[in-house]
Structure 1
Amino acid sequence: MDDFFKYLTAGEEDQNWGLFLNVAGAYLAKPGQSYPPMKHPSGYYFSWDSGRVLQEYQLNYITRGGGVMETREGKFNIRAGSVLLIRPGVWHRYKPNAKSGWQEHYVGFDGELANRLLSHPLFDQSQPVLHVGVREELIDTYYKVFDLVAEEHPGFQQIASGLVVKMLGYLISFEKQKEFQGKPIAAIIEDARFRIRQNVDQHLDMEHMAREYNIGYSYFRKMFKNYTGMSPHKYHLELKVMRAKELLLVTNKSVKEISYDLGFQTIHYFSRLFKQKVGKSPTEFRA
């Protein structure tokens, strides 16, 4: 796309939303061209000799070319598909290779929600460059942000902030997928999830299930949790609670009947688990 950048103001309502944008843009640094371009304001412009410290987060996605980034943590190679995660208050500098140049897409943002999301273990300050590959869905999300900030219709900050959250979600998802790419365990977990869903009302022996897949339970449990975010047993319980909520709302079955239908040993255990997960007892939820 053509070079584009826009600096934004965030009102009190935008800041109270929890995540707000300060800047968004795209830039093609051609081979041999000086970098960064001189047209940026003093708060963003930097030289290689001095580097800079920003007062915001930035996600800078490189989709062509390559280069290098340096922080106090070390020196990091950048290639097509790299995302530079820049944090407020952290000295850094980066530049494209003179022979290749690069295409960059960036957003700058801040806020309390941003602080919380960027505390995720994946976003380790010692590793400010993530190699996720050139992903069409990530590029498309940047373009949607650019369209919003170009027009600045009322409420654009709230929509754009949601797209930044989406970007961060993609980064986590891409990193998690790396662990399973090309490995048979991914197909095993998908099959196990299907079996658990199909038998939500049954008692399932997860250790026996692992043996059916010819793998040890500890490995099965670990990889299932890495894949889904929860253990097989917890996954099964969450599905039971979801099904219980549906039955409470759309049927006239008693709490005792629903408890029995979903394979709970006692109504007391079912009621206690339901309240723990939902915050209300089954009777209160139905009312």
Structure 2
Amino acid sequence: MTLAEKTTKKKKEGFVGQKMIVLPPNIKRNIASNHLISRFHVVASGFYPHAIYHDRERKSGCSEYILLYCTSGSGTVNVSGSTSVLKSNHFVILPKNTPHHYKSSLLDPWSIYWLHFTGKSADHLYQRYSELGAEPVFLAYSARRIEDFDQIFNLLANSFEERNLEIVNIKYLELLANFLYAQEIDPLTLGRDKITNSIQFMKKNPFSLYSVKDLAAQQHLSVTHYSKLFRDKTGTSPKQYFIQLKVQTACQYLYFTDKSIKEICRELGFNDPFYFSRLFKKLMGLSPANYRNQHKMD
């Protein structure tokens, strides 16, 4: 099957092992009149595991905010023409009433938890998110976070009775706060440790070439210790993470500039355009040329 044939298999939902709940209109009306949870409440939630061909576009946006939390794999998220890569241990919140298009990687399909939430407090919560940069935000892996998602989902699946909806939405608010205030809750989650310092160093130097040995030495760690700490925090190797950053930077150049692929490749420190193209296609599911053409057509 060719890549072109594969890209036609777009799916909004219907994945093996998926979980999804969408509240019916009468339940939404009941929540809107509940003073305890009307200011913040979730109207839909779910989990899509290994969601190959997942592709969702809303040209007029959605009336609720949407949280996407990637636990494995990767994909892309486009909001009002700006594209970013969403990968493992990152989350993004899509603004309400704003055109967007998100899709899973064909070669490394994502697994995502997602929420649609609304209410007057939702606007303030999105403002807190925008202060983090309004782009995919990294969070260190936490088994407890996954357990919380599953527990709250199961509570919601049990009943739409008023008291149950109250505790569900109180817990969802607490869960979202753990995303938005992670640094305040646990400073080491986002900063003040050697691996976060290393990640920041990579982000500031996407046009340089550094070996794992160089990166470990920069943090005064042995290669073995550095690599273990890095994988524990991010779920991937330093080399793979740095390549992902370079590909993400390449996406921006392909989208926003007219630089040739060879020029972009050279600026990112790759002497072999064919090698870079293979890396790009492995992560994005498209060659650099096809990626540019696809977005230029949009």
TM class by shorter-chain length? 0.5 to 0.7
Structure 1 ranges of 4+ moved more than 4 A: none
- Taking only the aligned residue pairs, the percentage that are identical comes to 14
- What does residue range 19-168 of structure 1 map to in structure 2 within 5 Å? 19-30=40-51, 33-36=52-55, 46-47=56-57, 51=59, 53-72=61-80, 74-120=82-128, 122-124=129-131, 127-154=134-161, 155-168=163-176
Please give the root-mean-square deviation of Cα atoms over the aligned residues, in Å.
2.5
The answer to whether the 8 A contact 1:62-1:105 is kept is yes
Structure-2 separation of matches of 1:124 and 1:86: 14
For 1:3, the equivalent position in structure 2 comes to: 18
How far apart, CA to CA, are the structure 2 residues paired with 1:2 and 1:119?
A: 33
Unaligned runs of 5+ in 2: 1-15, 196-298
Mapped contact 1:56–1:88 kept (Cα < 8 A) = yes
Q: What CA distance in whole angstroms lies between the structure 1 residues aligned with 2:50 and 2:191?
A: 33
| CA distance 1:25–1:16, shift in 2 (3 Å) | same
How far residue 73 of structure 1 moved from its aligned partner, in angstroms, is 6.2
18, 28, 33: which is aligned to 1:13?
33
Q: Structure 1: 5+ residue runs without aligned partners?
A: 37-45, 184-287
- Residues 189-223 of structure 1, C-alpha deviation per residue, up to 9 Å, x if partnerless? xxxxxxxxxxxxxxxxxxxxxxxxxxxxxxxxxxx
More helix by share: 2
Structure-2 separation of matches of 1:52 and 1:126: 23
Following superposition, the deviation at residue 14 of structure 1 comes to 3.6
Contact 2:60 2:97 in 1 (8 A): no
**Paired residue secondary structure (1:53):** coil
Matched-pair contact (CA < 8 Å) for 2:53–2:104: no
Counterpart secondary structure, 2:106 = coil
With the length of structure 1 as denominator, give the TM-score of the two structures. 0.53
CA contact (8 A) 2:43 2:117 kept: yes
Following TM superposition, by how much is the alpha carbon of 1:16 offset from its aligned partner in structure 2, in angstroms?
6.1
Q: Deviation per CA, 1:247-266: give whole Å up to 9, x if none.
A: xxxxxxxxxxxxxxxxxxxx
Matched pairs, number: 169
In the alignment, residue 34 of structure 1 is paired with which amino acid?
Answer: Y
Contact 1:24/1:149, CA 8 A, preserved across alignment: no
2:191 to 150, 168, 179: 179
* Offset at residue 133 of structure 1 (A): 3.3
Equivalences for residues 221-240 of structure 1 within 5 A: none
Structure number with bigger Rg: 1
